[in-house]
Amino acid sequence: MNKTDKIYIAGHRGMVGSAIQRSLEAAGFSNIVSRTSRELDLRDQQLVKRFFDQERPDYVFLAAAKVGGILANNTYRGEFLYDNLMIEANIIEAARVYGVTKLMFLGSSCIYPKLAPQPLTEDALLTGPLEPTNEPYAIAKITGIKLCDAYRHQYGCDFISVMPTNLYGPNDNYDLKSSHVLPALIRKFHEAKVNNEKEVVMWGTGLPKREFLHADDLADACVFLMREFSDYGFVNIGTGEDLAILELAQTIKEVVGYQGEISHDMTKPDGTPRKLMNVGKLNAMGWKHTISLKSGIEQVYASLTGEEWY
């Protein structure tokens, strides 16, 4: 990737896309194109083709997706499957037709079988049944990986895939119905502190374990892999460390400075018991995360002043 190459970031307003944009700009890349979802509906094949015809990007970061936490995934199952299939198929096909030099497709750690051996190595893909709460999203993301591999095989396209673990960072979603656990708990603890509430209700048992990566670390890894990785399959991106959701809640409680109790809403699902990434492949290539979970949460909490709900 040269500094003047034209780079299209699909999903530049989201947490991941905006982090990739910051990372590229900091590294001196100045020819970045993007469109909001209002300007370009990525589910519309004709519009996507027209955009690629006009802009002719050299590189594509495919970070646009319909995303959400466990409840949103489980509720809007049709949208999570259809929207994500359309977005990735339209962009990957247009990238082929309009001769994109290299494309990176971003997936998710939920592509792995629910009970795959931990930590999850890349070869565990398609070795068992998926976690039911996010099966539609996972199937769409698995299809994206397979599309990149099939296009590499049939057409020689340099299209690669990466699988990030659970993410957090600037531009996260704080809507309590659709968000992931980390932003949801930041909001819940903050509001409980401000309103002097006696308890914060978290979902499920708190026993499932999750790994969390700051979006800035993810973006750095994506730019690194765009340069260093060109092959079939994909590369896990994570920290290689996880903790129980209850431990996460206690960490956030401490950062926020909330003094009350934590209780559990057992009507909400736990989801997959554990999804810890094996990041051996990425580490062996020379990349490691730099932002610890505690300092990342402190950083996010300190910069929430602009958030509407805050």
Task: List CB contacts of 258: < 8 A, sequence separation 6 or more.
Answer: 189, 190, 192, 193, 200
151 vs 203, beta carbon nearer ligand GFB: 203
The number of residues making up the chain comes to: 310
Query: Tokens 């910069």 sit at which residue?
Result: 303
66 vs 249: CA distance, rounded Å: 26
Tokens read off for 109: 């750690």
Minimum CB separation of residue 160 from ligand GFB in Å reads 20
Tokens read off for 138: 């996972």
Contact residues toward ligand GFB (CB under 6 A) are: 69-70, 73, 108, 110, 133-134, 137, 166, 179-181, 184-185, 202-204, 208, 210, 245, 268-271
108 vs 236, beta carbon nearer ligand GFB: 108
Position closest to ligand GFB via CB? 69
Minimum CB separation of residue 233 from ligand GFB in Å reads 19
**59, 112, 137, 258: which is the annotated catalytic residue?**
137
3-state secondary structure at position 173? coil
108 vs 239, beta carbon nearer ligand GFB: 108
Minimum CB separation of residue 81 from ligand GFB in Å reads 11
Judge whether 137 counts as a catalytic residue: yes
Burial of 80 (0-12, 13-18, 19+ CB in 10 A): buried
Task: List CB contacts of 156: < 8 A, sequence separation 6 or more.
Answer: none
Minimum CB separation of residue 288 from ligand GFB in Å reads 21
168 vs 229, beta carbon nearer ligand GFB: 168
- Residues taking part in catalysis: 137
